[in-house]
Structure 1
Amino acid sequence: MSDHNRVLVIASGNKGKIREFQGLLDGLPLSIEAQPDGLDVDETGETFQANARIKAQTVARLTGHWALADDSGLSVTALGGAPGVHSARYAPSDPERIAKLLRALTGESNRCARFCAALCIAEPGGQPLLEVEGRCEGIITTEPRGEGGFGYDPIFEVTGTGRTFAEMPLAEKKQHGHRGKAFTLLEPQLRRLLQEI
């Protein structure tokens, strides 16, 4: 490993998320690695930020490298902010989560929702180095649209675009998306941090 490339472990087992982060981090002097197989971190936090911190700290301590974790989810106004921090555990699979959410909103006129993404980078001692949060406003569609993305992307129409995340190319999703917005806040701080070490 060259002196220029610090290893950054992505604290996730989600291949779609890891690919998205590899794209976002491209151009930074980092070697991106996925977290070890079989690692499962208990997300016991009450907020997206707390869960991101728990995951980053745990993976950093276990791997001995910097770790980047995100906790993100969908909060639907008419459902009192649900599924929120339970977005990934709302149902067993993406299609089931989408179907359950659409059923919960049957006959509901207020379909406002927001995606939030909290990012945390921790160092091997467990100390958080950077923490940011990005948001994206939108509405829940009545049926899935588009082939791209993952999770709730096919039913989340981004405000002002007329398109769901699943209908957007990756560059556009990066521009509008909660993870992209959080990353826009994180990147300059991360660049500074990499220059200081």
Structure 2
Amino acid sequence: MSQRTLVIASGNAGKLREFARLLDALPVTIEAQPEDLEVEETGTTFAANARLKACAVAAATGHWALADDSGLAVEALGGAPGVYSARYAPSDPERIERLLNALESRSDRAAHFSAALCIAAPDGRVLAEVEGRCPGRITTAPRGDQGFGYDPIFEVASTGLTFAEMSLEEKRCHGHRGRAFALLEPQLQQLLQQG
């Protein structure tokens, strides 16, 4: 298998690190999307937004692009923040505060993270699409200093730990992005072998 450039359709440094780690064993050179490229996320599902981003970044760069759209769905809030997870408030601390305030008097704190991954080619073809899910619950206060986004308030089912309390390896094993990547990896290996 020859080395192939794979552009990660994100400017989020945390996501870039996580994908670099996930893709470490594959014959790909990771690049971040161009800083001046903004893709409007107009999809109503995580999969639709991942597809939009992958296709736009692949077309703009001339390389295969891997995009993800992921977010948190809280049952007591009717699935919010959902596809608006990153836009729920201007910063991670404000998003966490808004979510905790919304759940303040609720006993049902069940939630799940979803991650949709899409690889697209520069000609607009979607090469692979998968979705991974991680069940858990929202804590009453942030815990841990690893990770990013909602990680400090999302306790992964049956672990007793928030994502922010886990090592990268634990997060890969339990996390929605890791679960989605486990589904994507064999498809990506096959695509790389085909050239």
TM superposition score normalised by structure 1:
0.98
CA positional deviation for 1:137: 0.1
- Cα-to-partner distance string for 1:37-95 (whole Å, 9 max, x where unaligned): 12110000000000000000000000000000000000000000000000000000000
For the pair 1:98 / 2:96, whether they are aligned, the reply is yes
Residue identity opposite 1:12 in structure 2: S
Residue identity opposite 2:70 in structure 1: S
Instruction: Quote the residue 1:179 is aligned against.
Output: 177
Instruction: Quote the residue 1:143 is aligned against.
Output: 141
For the pair 1:70 / 2:77, whether they are aligned, the reply is no
Matched residue SS, 2:108: coil
Instruction: Quote the residue 1:117 is aligned against.
Output: 115
Q: Please list every run of 5 or more consecutive structure 1 residues that lacks an aligned counterpart in the other structure.
A: none
Residue identity opposite 2:181 in structure 1: F
Instruction: Quote the residue 1:48 is aligned against.
Output: 46
How far apart, CA to CA, are the structure 1 residues paired with 2:62 and 2:133? 30
**Identity value in percent:** 70
CA positional deviation for 1:196: 1.2
Which contiguous aligned blocks of 4+ residues in structure 1 show a shift greater than 2 angstroms? none
Residue identity opposite 1:191 in structure 2: Q
TM superposition score normalised by structure 2:
0.99
For the pair 1:82 / 2:107, whether they are aligned, the reply is no
RMSD, matched Cα: 0.7
CA positional deviation for 1:4: 1.5
Matched residue SS, 2:36: coil
Residue identity opposite 2:131 in structure 1: E
Instruction: Quote the residue 1:60 is aligned against.
Output: 58
Matched residue SS, 2:98: helix
Instruction: Quote the residue 1:194 is aligned against.
Output: 192
- Cα-to-partner distance string for 1:14-41 (whole Å, 9 max, x where unaligned): 0110010000000100000000012110
Residues 6-45 of structure 1 mapped to structure 2, 5 A cutoff: 6-45=4-43
Instruction: Quote the residue 2:129 is aligned against.
Output: 131
Residue identity opposite 1:42 in structure 2: E
- Cα-to-partner distance string for 1:125-170 (whole Å, 9 max, x where unaligned): 1110000000000000000000000000000000000000000000
Instruction: Quote the residue 2:162 is aligned against.
Output: 164
How far apart, CA to CA, are the structure 2 residues paired with 1:123 and 1:163? 38
